[in-house]
Structure 1
């Protein structure tokens, strides 16, 4: 009983700051009226591009790209005119396995092409071409360039929050997006088909007003 009481006290101590924050209200809220029109820049510290592939038909495996940069132009009164341009440093790919991460960035052997991205890979880039918005969601179609090859892809995005960052005071808007690509379209063919060609993308991005 004493151990259970201590556990409850510890749980309350951990939860108290969260409860207090909820009572005080979060800096961001899913309220489109908070979005100011204008130019925004990616917050690299709070933006991630997750990817997911199937491994041998057994299970899925995940990886991440971080430190993205880029811009957003948005007018809440005309969301279909929004434009986004994001650059993703492929060289900073990370996984839960140091060996796999190293393999992704390993140069090709004896003049051959690398299995995956290779050493010193060029940055990936997504540039929107059209936006079709409906409520707090939008289909964003644009050109994605990876490994020197460009293909048109569509991302399904959702507005997740807006408000002033309490630390740097910058007006911030957040979005999440999902999509899928075929890695073979970008010349990344290693281990096909036992490692899936289809790569699922999950993106979370914060933009700060400039």
Structure 2
């Protein structure tokens, strides 16, 4: 109790003594954030995905108990963009499935495990081919867009629609490149791509959330 009283007294003294200094401390502005959700900052050109700051998050239902997440990183690809003709935009991105990671090393290993005795793997298998999304049309509404395209995964191609949102543009202070950012989401059925292990205990529906930074070339 004595220590608590002393601590309370010390805190009171610090507050009383620093009350005039605190506003000065918090008024010190840090560097301005380079990106802003201002479409006027976007310029026409061809952009390349920044693999160090682009990812795809997947979410599945685990036995009906909870949602489980994993991530694909090292996304690469291109975006052709003209602010004066946004519906002519074209996206072509590649997701290295072999980069998949989860919070469980055992599960990550299972996702990339080869099939037993030469059979089909439960999930992606060893050294899986990258996934690829190629847009076919873009419908724009303000700073959001519906992007129709084809997703190739596990050697199978299916149509997919991304609900995309423009999140920011500006100059990257580390390399001086004009950068634009987007987030998107969609839902696929993994059985459509012959990834059907543990159905229906682990959901067929897979929610995908995508966050990509594109740098002008």
TM-score, normalised to structure 1's length? Answer: 0.91
Alignment of 1:4-43 (within 5 A): 5=11, 20-21=29-30, 24-43=31-50
Distance (Å, rounded) in 1 between the aligned partners of 2:154 and 2:29: 47
* Alpha-carbon distance between aligned partners in 2 of 1:132 and 1:176, rounded to the nearest angstrom: 15
Query: Residues of 2 paired with 1:204 and 1:2: CA distance?
Result: 45
**Residue 83 in structure 1 maps to residue 90 in structure 2:** yes
C-alpha distance in structure 1 between counterparts of 2:35 and 2:158, whole Å: 34
Aligned counterparts of 1:76 and 1:194: Cα–Cα separation in 2: 45
- Where does structure 1 differ by over 4 angstroms across 4 or more consecutive aligned residues? none
Aligned counterparts of 1:90 and 1:133: Cα–Cα separation in 2: 29
Specify the alignment match of 1:122 in structure 2: 129
Q: 1:2 aligns with which of 1, 7, 15?
A: 7
> How many pairs does the alignment contain?
202
Which structure's CA Rg is the greater one? Answer: 2
Deviation at 1:96, TM superposition (A): 0.3
- 1:51-90 equivalent positions in 2, closer than 5 A: 51-90=58-97
Q: Which runs of 5+ in 2 are unaligned?
A: 1-5, 19-24
> What are the ranges of 5 or more consecutive residues in structure 1 without an aligned counterpart?
10-15
* Distance in 2 (alpha carbons) for counterparts of 1:2 and 1:167: 44
User: RMSD of aligned C-alpha atoms?
Assistant: 2.2
2-structure distance, mates of 1:25, 1:133: 29
* TM-score, normalization by structure 2: 0.88
